[in-house]
Chains A and B, each alone.
Chain A
Amino acid sequence: MEKYDVAIIGGGSAGLAALKQLSNHGKQAVVLESGSKIGSKNISGGILYSKKPKKGHVHNVEDVYGDIFLREAPLERKITKYILHATSQDKVFTMDLTAAHEYESNFGYSVLMNKLNSWFAEQATESAQKYGGGIIPGVHVTSIEWNEQNNSTIIKTNELEEFEVKAIIAADGVNSEIAQITGARSKFTPEQSYQGVKVVVKIPEEIINKRFNVHSSEGIAHLFSGDITLNHIGGGFLYTNKDTLSVGAVYHFDSLLANPTEPSDLVNVMLKNPMISEFIKDEVPLRRKIDKSLPPEEQLRIRFAITKLIKTWYELRETYYSERGKNNSAEIRENLSSVSQQLTDKYGVKFVTDYVEAEYGAKLIPDGKRCRMTKPYYKNILFVGDAAGRGIFIGPRIEGLNVGIDDAVRAADAIARALDNNNFSPSYLGEYYTSSVEESPYTRDMKQIDKDYLKIFLDAAKGVPKDILSARYGTIMKLMSSGSFRTVAVKFANILGYERLLPMVESEETYVKVPIELAERLGEKIIKTYEPTIPSTADRVAKLSFNDDSNPHIKVLNPTSEFMKKLITLCPTKCYSLENNQVMLQHEGCIECGTCSLETDWNHPRGEKGVVYKYG
């Protein structure tokens, strides 16, 4: 049987950081990734932070990969402004929260996971190969067995011969199958998780620069609350990437269950908001229907020619509006206008104002405050990042990538130490890792309120009329606004604990009602100049790439449960339908978010099967 020192299950940003860190220690490790290529199944909202907490130390992405990270990694834009908007219909009230974004932070970059993880994979593979390790894509782990006699751990997969390892890092994400097959933790309940849904919108680089008033290297994060939440607890976001925008929304799963709304509608309401419509707008070619009375050959030729010309038009335009296009812009402009001329004259294509959606995706996000594993290990398996339920949700602060990377480094360090002493017992490995994670400032943020972080919000809210806030939060506001009281109040709140405190803060008041009132009373009216053409869910799914597996990776356990009936609405790709009062699954088109996992037998698809994200 083949043997490796360490297996890392899951090639997301945490798993890859673990591989890199283990090779930094000179240890052998393999990453097992179920996607056909690294990055094909990863999706995130889209900001990667590097942090410098006042107390304690975190392991940042640039510590793992070195200086080359900031020089060469395919980062989108460095976020230099962080703005919160409260919306009500066409009115928007804006607060600058850049101070909250910069709090204890080295930097925050907008990122797209496919590109970024591919880069991480290149870096990690290069170092891992020196020690006989690397990345094996297209492999789905099905079980892990322990042979007590010779103290070995055996990994079984759909695709490979079984093999033996000394320790495992489970980095298989929010729907961790490793956690399920080992029983290390139960599935996350709706109150412990959030559902995020995102679309990637294409806009040329220079148009983003102009519209958001930034240089090519900088970007802006816009956050949204108010009526765009459709009365759910959570909010929307719009991040500028290099030549795309990430537009999405993240809502508490509990509140989605209480008031089921289709995920695509949650992102559609964002796209239709006048402020966002204006952010995403672009010039778009509109095809004329091809005359069906023409001979089929001719129809085919026309379709072929138009498709090709439009593709050329997009490519030319992207170059024209980019850094690299500046050198010979006159020539490109001439080409561009000749192509649009042809499209208009020969094929009746019109150019209209609309927006271009490139990709639709969704993901479940664990709320670390409520669901982090208190002991993130099982035997010699260490859980990291989403798999361990470790994500930070504090008001507008949503962080997962950096937490996963920090965990991965801690896990890799713990395993390197265990390898050195050939001791993989829970007391030597698991407990050591647990205490390391427990020391992480990120864990502290999942447990307690940071009064300095809170102050930033109070300062930002200074311009807000007292009557709106005090009507809602009366005593709390009074206590919090005064420096001396705040210390006491936060201490008291921390004694109460997040659990008792959260329902007060994470409420409809905070995310919906107060923002709406703010927008109505103080908001600026924004005029929309066009109506965006929003694709249907079917169109969005049709645009994604799939490698369909004829065997379903999900089985419905209780087809008549209330939860499953709500999934008909809550599944982002409408894979569920009702027939004779029974919920039926059609798994083709599933984007593997795990929204339905609580009451289904949920597995990741076999190796190479399932959705392939291009952006992520």
Chain B
Amino acid sequence: MTEGEYSHVYVIMELEGVRLVPVSLEMLGEARRLINNFNKKYEADEKVVAVLLGHNVKDFIKILIEYGADYVIYVDHPELKYVRNIIYTKVISQIAQDKEIAAKISADHSEKFKKPRYMFFAADSIGRHLSSTVLVELESGLASDINKLEVSDINLTHQHKTGGKPEVYQKTLEMYRPDFSGFLWTTILCLDNRNPSNKRDYHPQSCSIIPGVFEPIKPDINRKGKIIEFTPKIDEQDLKVKILSRKAIQSEVNFDSKKTIVSFGRGIKDAPEQNIKLIEGLAKQLDAEIGVSLPISKKPFLVSENLASTYMIPDRVIGTSGRKISSMLYVAVGISGAMQHVAGMKEAEFVVAINPDENSLIKDECDIFIKGRMEDIIPKLIEELKTQSTLVQA
């Protein structure tokens, strides 16, 4: 490897519909921090380059600059409206190897430019797939599911890599991930072969990054960045996969991200529609996710289509044939405490049950048992929570 063949960090942005997927900005943030340190340490002037593919995506460019990109390379093309692996792989690979782009970013050594120094992808289903196929095109390695990054100079003696002689690998990206063996971390390195009998380069050093690990930087509306439009060479051969229709099947339910879960069971039966709305209100007040007991998922009561399709669904079931949760607070409303449900809530830290029947089984499974009808109790709870929260805010 000679100076200038590999430079900058290219970060592959990801869009979902009209939104930037949050991990895109998290990756930019981490790239920014990494490159700042890098430039200081090596007295260099390498750049954070955001790569944005899609259709009608120009609105996002400014945001990317605010969040730390020095350059935004974008491709705006109707065929790129949705992610299709083959065409996305081709376009990203073209960008990564384009000397003109490299010259625009930095005139120094741009003749020698081969590929980026580092490349980041999101470790979600799209990014994991894309990263693997792009790195095949770029003929380098990939570390998946990374949650910590560092750049350092590494002394290494290795039979295969260095032919048994000590070598210093400068500016090496150390990529960390939780280990399969249960030990703390694995560090993954992507190193060139310097063994004379088997010489070849492995660049870019690339990884996919777990969403939610890194913080985006504070956006700065005054940040300056440059924009490069790229016109890809699109081969009809790569458009064979057609998107006929799209249906989002992603679950709206996320039990893990909330500290509190409010769930309800057949106890809503007296006035299902109104009671579900009451529970919605309580959940909102507690910033809680809503769960249900198994029988509810079989839609035993008639309620409006909207409520039924939002709440009376298998995705929300907590129990043996649903999810097992471990929230800090668990509020069981109108749940009798059938074994099938209890098995899913055992790990909750603190359990409050609201039930008119003091002989119900849930009484043995909770920390606080409120005897009464939910119609009477929830409004009082909401009232009290509101007062408390205004007090706290004051």
Contact = CB atoms under 8 A, between A and B. Distances in A.
Interface string A538-568: 1101100010101000000000000000000
Nearest to A302: B178
A292 B339 CA distance: 26
A589 B336 CA distance: 16
B81 to A, nearest CB: 32
B257 interface: yes
A575 B178 contact: no
Given A542-B320, A542-B346, A546-B321, A589 B340 contact: yes
Most buried by A among B180, B342, B344, B349: B342
Given A297-B147, A579-B336, A588 B321 contact: yes
B338 interface: yes
Interface string A291-321: 0100011000100111111011000000000
A577 interface: yes
Nearest to B317: A588
Contact of B339 (A538, A548, A550, A579): A538
Contacts, number: 79
Contacts of A346: 184
B181 A296 contact: no
Contacts of A91: none
B342 A586 contact: no
B210 A297 contact: yes
B42 interface: no
Contacts of B212: 296-297
Contact of B338 (A304, A306, A308, A577): A577
A546 B320 contact: yes
Most buried by B among A297, A309, A577, A586: A586
A309 B182 contact: yes
A586 B294 contact: yes
A589 B298 CA distance: 16
B307 interface: no
B328 A292 contact: yes
A537 interface: yes
Given A577-B361, A579-B336, A588-B321, A538 B182 contact: no
A40 interface: no
Contacts of A550: 298
Interface in B243-293: 256-257, 259, 266
Contacts of B180: 308
B126 interface: no
Contacts of A539: 343, 346
A538 B212 CA distance: 33
Contact of A577 (B179, B321, B336): B336
A610 to B, nearest CB: 12
Contacts of B256: 296
Contacts of B210: 297
B184 A305 contact: yes
A590 to B, nearest CB: 10
A292 B326 CA distance: 10
B184 A586 contact: no
A305 B178 contact: yes
B340 A588 contact: yes
B295 interface: yes
B213 interface: yes
Provide the main secondary structure of the chain B interface: loop
A536 interface: yes
B295 A586 contact: yes
A304 B178 contact: yes
B358 to A, nearest CB: 14
Interface in A584-616: 586, 588-589
Contacts of A311: 182
Nearest to A312: B182
Contacts of B181: 308, 312
A573 interface: yes
B324 interface: yes
A539 B319 CA distance: 11
A20 interface: no
B359 to A, nearest CB: 9
Interface string B342-356: 111010010000000
A574 interface: yes
B362 to A, nearest CB: 11
Contacts of B324: 542
A466 B210 CA distance: 76
B339 A296 contact: no
Contacts of A577: 336, 338, 361
Contact of A541 (B179, B328, B340, B361): B340
A292 B147 CA distance: 19
A345 to B, nearest CB: 12
Contact of B343 (A297, A538, A575, A579): A538
A308 B319 CA distance: 24
B129 to A, nearest CB: 22
Contacts of B183: 305, 342
Contacts of A541: 320, 339-340, 343
Contacts of A307: 182
Interface string A508-547: 0000000000000000000000000000111101100010
Contacts of B361: 577
Given A297-B147, A588-B321, A589-B320, A579 B178 contact: no
Most buried by B among A296, A546, A589: A589
Contacts of A292: 259, 328, 349
Contacts of A537: 339
A305 B266 CA distance: 39
B338 A586 contact: yes
Given A296-B256, A312-B182, A586-B294, A575 B320 contact: no
B266 to A, nearest CB: 7
A157 B14 CA distance: 49
B339 A589 contact: yes
Most buried by A among B182, B319, B338, B346: B182
Nearest to A303: B326
Given A305-B179, A538-B346, A579 B266 contact: yes
9 contacts: A304-B182, A305-B178, A308-B180, A308-B182, A309-B182, A538-B339, A539-B343, A539-B346, A542-B320
5 nearest A-B residue pairs (beta carbon): A308-B182, A542-B343, A574-B339, A538-B343, A309-B182
